[in-house]
Amino acid sequence: MFEITARLDGTAARAGVITTERGQIQTPAFIPVATQATVRAVLPEAMADLGAQALLSNAYHLYLQPGPEIVDDAGGLGRFMNWPGPTFTDSGGFQVLSLGAGFKKTLAMDPGVVQSDEVIAPGKERLAHVDDDGVNFKSHRDGSIHRFTPEVSMQIQHRLGADIIFAFDELTTLMNSREYQEMSLERTRLWALRCIAEHQRLEAQNPDRPRQSLFGVIQGAQYEDLRRKAARDLGAMDYFAGFGIGGAIEKQRLAEIVSWVVSELPENKPRHLLGIGEPDDLFHAVEAGADTFDCVNPSRVARTSRVYTRAGRYNLASAASRRAFEPIEPNCDCYTCRNYTRAYIHHLFKAKEMVASTLCTIHNERFTIKLVDDMRDWIADGTFRERKAEFFAGYYGAASNDRSAG
């Protein structure tokens, strides 16, 4: 399923090809997020034009709306949303626990806060309760009560029919105690075994359906011994076709945590870093040996008028763009930059026109996909380190952009 085609000396970075029933993915690759079977504000055709190789949807959202049986009857996730290429679904574990505990941005939580296993976001009700068998949670849509177990997650992901699916895991936070992390890690290990068993049962029951590749998910928060143990335990489970690296990760420690995990995992299987998409994180993670990434950030920030460029991120709604009759980024090959000016998009945001979000999302998704595509070339030609230094000087060294406002 995965073939390594190039390596970067002195690092764990590699380029490769993932093969699925619906096509190949050249890695490293950024996989845009189509949460509810759509990249918000952009047509699937536009995503293909801007170079997306695959899309990732969320099992939790599609379970609640429209329901996995509707997606199944439509011919599966790809056909439902008119995306002929490879698709991923996550397990729902992240959403049931992060939305359920009232945290939307688990990765950004402050680890300096006193540790507690009962912590929830301020002013929120705890909506998710974990036990050894699964998770009870309240829908963020209508408050109805649901239960996910490893078996339920596999059944949902089988009906959604994505090419790459993930084992159900428990998301912990950086605020959980060490004792809780140990207990949770063991729970996620046992759940991984149950996911494999259920996946095999469903495959045997439906031999004519397209094959789906199951990825295990490595947890362990900020603890080196736990991350390594999880990678060894799941890495030894031959049935996994690849691995996700999930859970709470402090930004400053991303490369370190990926390195621990990568050094324990089998070399010949792809590694997907869940929920990571900022430029510096992508560089560090590729260098540490991660192969694919997904993140809602390029589209989420686009809808608030923030755009990425090689000179840094800026806010198109600020007055600086009012009379800027030039593209968002001069050398960008995206549809937006080939056809529209900053001044026009600035106007659309001020006029609250929906197409503003569409044009910005196209640019941001293209920026992120192209950046990771370039990294693939730089691994192959050996210039990764120099290009990374150049990029960081341009993106983070630029004083003229309003990153503070972005």
Q: Closest distance between Zn ion and the C-beta of residue 380, in Å?
A: 24
Q: Closest distance between Zn ion and the C-beta of residue 328, in Å?
A: 5
- Taking CB under 5 A as the rule, does residue 276 contact Zn ion? no
**Residue choice 332, 348, 356, 369 for contact with Zn ion (CB under 5 A):** 332
In terms of CB distance, is 310 or 388 closer to Zn ion? 310
Choosing from 238, 280, 294, 402, the catalytic residue is 294
In terms of CB distance, is 176 or 297 closer to Zn ion? 297
**Residue choice 363, 375, 384, 391 for contact with Zn ion (CB under 5 A):** 363
| Number of residues this chain uses to bind Zn ion (CB under 5 A) | 5
In terms of CB distance, is 170 or 365 closer to Zn ion? 365
Contact 277, 368 (CB under 8 A): yes
Q: Residue 135 and residue 129: Cα distance in Å, rounded?
A: 6
Determine whether 294 is an active site residue: yes
Q: Residue 124 and residue 269: Cα distance in Å, rounded?
A: 39
**Residue choice 37, 42, 257, 337 for contact with Zn ion (CB under 5 A):** 337
Which window, 6-14, 168-176, 199-207, 337-345, contacts Zn ion (CB under 5 A)? 337-345
Which window, 50-58, 87-95, 336-344, 398-406, contacts Zn ion (CB under 5 A)? 336-344
- Taking CB under 5 A as the rule, does residue 334 contact Zn ion? yes
Q: Residue 69 and residue 88: Cα distance in Å, rounded?
A: 17
Q: Closest distance between Zn ion and the C-beta of residue 20, in Å?
A: 28
Q: Closest distance between Zn ion and the C-beta of residue 23, in Å?
A: 25
Choosing from 90, 169, 281, 291, the catalytic residue is 90
Determine whether 90 is an active site residue: yes
In terms of CB distance, is 245 or 334 closer to Zn ion? 334
In terms of CB distance, is 80 or 367 closer to Zn ion? 367
Q: Which tokens belong to 123?
A: 């002013």
Q: b/e string for 29-67 if b means 16 or more Cβ within 10 A?
A: bbbbbbbebbbbbbebebbeebbbbbbbbbbbbbbbeee
In terms of CB distance, is 144 or 331 closer to Zn ion? 331
Would you report the helix, strand and coil content of the chain in percent, each value rounded to 5?
Answer: 40, 15, 40
Q: Closest distance between Zn ion and the C-beta of residue 33, in Å?
A: 19
Which window, 113-121, 127-135, 230-238, 361-369, contacts Zn ion (CB under 5 A)? 361-369
In terms of CB distance, is 96 or 337 closer to Zn ion? 337
- 229-248 positions binding Zn ion, by CB under 5 A: none
- Taking CB under 5 A as the rule, does residue 194 contact Zn ion? no
Amino acid 364 reads N
Q: Closest distance between Zn ion and the C-beta of residue 300, in Å?
A: 17
Q: Residue 150 and residue 92: Cα distance in Å, rounded?
A: 10
Q: Closest distance between Zn ion and the C-beta of residue 381, in Å?
A: 24
Phi, psi torsion values for 20, nearest 5 degrees: -120, 175
In terms of CB distance, is 101 or 316 closer to Zn ion? 316
Q: Residue 205 and residue 187: Cα distance in Å, rounded?
A: 27
Q: Residue 165 and residue 168: Cα distance in Å, rounded?
A: 10
Query: Angle 384-396/279-287 helices, nearest 10 degrees?
Result: 160
Residues 6 or more apart whose Cβ sits within 8 Å of residue 128 = 96, 97, 99, 100, 101, 135, 136, 137, 138
Q: Closest distance between Zn ion and the C-beta of residue 338, in Å?
A: 8
Strand ranges for 66-118 from DSSP E: 87-90
Q: Residue 180 and residue 191: Cα distance in Å, rounded?
A: 16
In degrees, rounded to 5, the angle at the alpha carbon of residue 321 between the alpha carbons of residues 318 and 326 is 155
Q: Tell which phi-psi region holds residue 324, choosing left (phi > 0), alpha (psi between -120 and 50) or beta.
A: beta
Residues 6 or more apart whose Cβ sits within 8 Å of residue 400 = 311, 312
Q: What is the set of active-site residues?
A: 90, 294
The footprint of Zn ion (CB under 5 A) covers 332, 334, 336-337, 363
